[in-house]
């Protein structure tokens, strides 16, 4: 954004201040993975991860006007789940694998 002020308006980049405003946020997440081997030729894997970001703002929307109303990111969350099954010596195949995944992203309104 600061370079844009110089490029598009011909103003010095520090006209908006020395530091970017409202750019602090908190982010945390976790991951869990579980593997299970029911037999010597089968393997089942479960994978779940979650990430969340609180208090973030889009800097390009914080400079006034309607941007002040839409700049906030409220509890931006990511959930990812994956399940996979692998079988060795599956008939005429050396191995056979099947997986399913679900990915959701959301923001509290």
User: What pTM value is reported for the model?
Assistant: 0.65
Q: What is the pLDDT of residues 33-78, one digit of tens each?
A: 999 999 999 999 999 999 998 887 766 666 665 555 566 777 889 9
3-class DSSP state for residue 26? strand
Q: What is the pLDDT of residues 68-91, one digit of tens each?
A: 556 677 788 999 999 999 999 999
Contact between 55 and 27 under an 8 Å Cβ cutoff? The reply is: no
CB atoms within 10 A of CB 40: 8
């Amino acid at each position: 954004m600061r370079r844009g002020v110089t490029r598009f308006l011909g103003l010095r980049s520090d006209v908006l201040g020395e530091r970017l405003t409202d750019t602090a946020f908190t982010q945390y997440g976790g991951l869990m993975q579980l593997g299970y081997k029911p037999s010597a030729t089968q393997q089942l894997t479960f994978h779940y991860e979650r990430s969340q970001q609180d208090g973030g703002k889009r800097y390009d929307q914080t400079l006034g006007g309607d941007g002040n109303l839409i700049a906030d990111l409220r509890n931006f969350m990511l959930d990812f789940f994956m399940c996979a099954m692998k079988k060795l010596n599956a008939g005429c195949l050396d191995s056979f694998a099947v997986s399913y995944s679900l990915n959701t992203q959301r923001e509290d309104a």
